[in-house]
Amino acid sequence: MTNQYDVIVVGGGHNGLVCATYLARDGRKVLVLEAENHFGGAAKTREIAPGFKISAGAHLLTMLNPEVRKDMRLDEHGLKFAAKDLKTIALAEDGEHISIHGDAISGGDITAKDQAAMKDFHKTMLRFSKLLASAFRNRPPKLVEGDWHDRINLLKLGLGMRMLGREDMRELMRVGLINVYDVLHERFDSELLKGALSLDGLLGSHMAPRSPNTVLGYLYRRLGDLWGYRGPSLPEGGMGAVGLAMANSAKSMGVELRSNSAVVSINTESGRTTGVTLQGGEVLEAGIVISNADPKNTFQKLVGIRNIETDFSRRVENIRMQGNVAKLHLALDGLPEFVGVSASDIGQRLVIAPDMDYVERAFNPSKYGELCEAPILEIIIPSVHDTSLAPDGKHVLSAVVQYAPYSLKAGWENEKDRFKAIVIDLLEQYSPGIKAKIITSELLSPLDVEREFYMTGGHWHHGEISFDQILMMRGAYGSNQYATPIDGLYLCGAGAHPGGNVMGLAGRNAAKEVMKRGAAA
Ligand SMILES: Cc1cc2nc3c(=O)[nH]c(=O)nc-3n(C[C@H](O)[C@H](O)[C@H](O)COP(=O)(O)OP(=O)(O)OC[C@H]3O[C@@H](n4cnc5c(N)ncnc54)[C@H](O)[C@@H]3O)c2cc1C
């Protein structure tokens, strides 16, 4: 086995695999080093009890970029779907639920006025999202010292804005700078609808409906709609199947994949990378190292602060990436029933966010390092669609739980069981009898997320998606076009433009940037 490569990718998350595949396709000799025993990063399926499998991190595929999917031939490499275009069911305690599917809403207290408003709102949001979609396909342009690529990209962005027309442009400037709470209040009457819609602007973030940047979060989430998904989908075999198909694709292009290979340092000499050292001391050489790890992990742990200049190191330290999400996993001795949810809807995306004030109140304690007593939940029972996930007649439930602050004052070791009980009690309110069906339960705190997925702060986007951390501001100024202040070292993960979720564009764009700069980098 050789220890010399053209490119070493640190981390076999989905973005690392995408990046490696594009570069191998371009003729590079590429090695991917993954600390864990599986590929896909937080797109991972694992057992919680014998025969019960859950998607341990990401649990819904909402915005896998279709170009990445096609280029990597993921369908040929085994990616299949157990369910597609799921509806969102906004749960009401009295069973008067609302169903949301693209721009169609029905049920509960939904009026014809709200239905018409939704059509208009959806259309407007998609027009605005288009601007993001075009900016996300390219490296973010530098504003001042950019080259002709940057100027073209900036021009495209400007042109996209102009094409919106005066009224839309004015509206975009207005809503972009307020918050999803005000925007939804202006448009809709149903509190339950507004509660559920607001989640699309803030899931995975340290934000609530009244926070700035939540409209940006909402537009970000709508990219999935632009790419042809009417709702989230469930890969057959759980989210790990995405990682598996990507790993197969990478291998087919000649990428060498090594699991159980934690990188302990990215090595540098005179300001340029020379390769990496693995736990255990093995040294591997490459002129180009691309990190799928988040920026803090990359620069503070793997490169080492002493090897980067002070200003850049401060900017990295200031990246906002405090996770505020926990994850509940249940193995169930039978299918639970939710009050008022029909058999055909039980496998849809169920959310508990009765109104926007409830969501805001759930967020408040987390600002002070405390837990809420009434969290919000995004629930999915994937075994309804995919019998490979649980033994016959049994089921698994996965729920994203907000808000659960990474820096919990009382300490997660002291509070985890209490919080798990709060979440399960909340579920019991909407699904009487579910408690009695629990065979095994597991709550991942943000600290557990950090440990299991190597995500600093347990932040699911490797850094907040906000105006101060998107486009040319993502990944900290100085590493915002994938290249970093260390020659030959690049970023390719969710902490780089355009950000997180299982999307693949950060990996694709990073590979394109490496190719553009040529082998010498
Ligand atoms: C609880 C939770 C729920 C989520 N739900 C959803 C969802 O439903 N839908 C969705 O689209 N997104 C969801 N996300 C977000 C999504 O999972 C991430 O944005 C996405 O996984 C980022 O992909 P990535 O490839 O950039 O990084 P990651 O998935 O974080 O992969 C990085 C990889 O690098 C490896 N690594 C790190 N350091 C080293 C090292 N030193 N040596 C070797 N390997 C290393 C890690 O082990 C990991 O495999 C969720 C995230 C969390 C935490």
* Span 333-356, pLDDT tens digits: 999 999 999 999 999 999 999 999
E strand residue ranges, 320-385? 325-332, 349-352, 376-380
Q: Where are the beta strands (DSSP E) in 338-427?
A: 349-352, 376-380, 395-402
Q: Which CATH class is domain 4-44+62-80+236-320+459-517?
A: alpha beta
In this model, does residue 196 exceed pLDDT 80? yes
Average pLDDT over residues 193-199: 98
Answer whether 326's CB lies under 8 Å from 446's CB.
yes
240 close to 38: Cβ distance less than 8 angstroms: yes
Q: In angstroms, rounded to a whole number, what is the distance separating the alpha carbons of residues 330 and 55?
A: 11
Which tens digits make up the pLDDT trace of 431-462? 999 999 999 999 999 999 999 999 999 999 99
If one residue of 267, 406, 454 were mutated to test the ligand 1 pocket, choosing by the most ligand atoms within 8 A of its CB, it would be 454
Residue located nearest, by CA, to atom 3 of ligand 1: 58
Give the residues surrounding ligand 1 with Cβ less than 6 Å away.
10-16, 33-36, 41-43, 57-60, 62, 204, 262-263, 292-293, 297, 302, 325, 327, 400, 449, 453-455, 460-461, 493-494, 500-502, 506
Q: Kindly give the distance from the C-alpha atom of residue 321 to the centroid of ligand 1, in angstroms, as a whole number.
A: 13
Question: Which of 8, 34, 220 for a ligand 1 pocket mutation test, highest count of atoms within 8 Å of Cβ?
Answer: 34
* Mutational test site, ligand 1, from 14, 324, 380, 453, max ligand atoms within 8 Å of CB: 453
CB 133 within 8 A of CB 499: no
389 contact partners, CB below 8 Å, separation of at least 6: 52, 53, 54, 237, 238, 382, 383, 396
Q: What spacing in Å lies between the alpha carbon of 37 and ligand 1's midpoint? A: 14
Among protein residues, the one with the nearest Cα to ligand 1's atom 45 is 11
pLDDT at 168 over 90: no
Based on its alpha-carbon atoms, the radius of gyration of the chain, rounded to whole angstroms, reads 22
Query: Could you give the CA distance from residue 79 to residue 71 in angstroms, rounded to a whole number?
Result: 13
Distance 281 CA to ligand 1 centre (A): 25
Distance CA 20, CA 251 (A): 10
Centroid of ligand 1 to alpha carbon of 339 (angstroms): 34
pTM: 0.96
Q: Are 341 and 334 in contact (CB under 8 A)?
A: no
pLDDT recorded at residue 146 = 67
pLDDT of 520 over the 50 cut: no
What are the residue ranges of helices labelled H in 12-147?
14-25, 66-71, 112-136
Asked if residue 420 has pLDDT above 70, the reply is yes
Q: Tell me the pLDDT tens digit for each residue of 250-293.
A: 999 999 999 999 999 999 999 999 999 999 999 999 999 999 99
Distance CA 479, CA 225 (A): 30
The residue with greater pLDDT, 269 or 161, is 269
Residue minimizing CA distance to atom 32 of ligand 1:
13
- Residue 248 burial (CB count, 10 A): 20
Residues 409, 72: contact at Cβ < 8 Å? no
Interatomic CA distance for residues 188 and 194, integer angstroms: 7
pLDDT of residue 193: 98
Residues 17-57 pLDDT 10s? 999 999 999 999 999 999 999 999 999 999 999 999 999 99
- Does the pLDDT value for residue 4 go beyond 80? yes
Ligand 1 centre from 460 Cα, in Å?
A: 7
> Amino acid identity of 334?
G
Count of CB atoms within 10 A of residue 4's CB?
12
Confidence of residue 145 (pLDDT cuts 50, 70, 90): low
Give the span between the Cα atoms of 426 and 445, in whole angstroms: 17
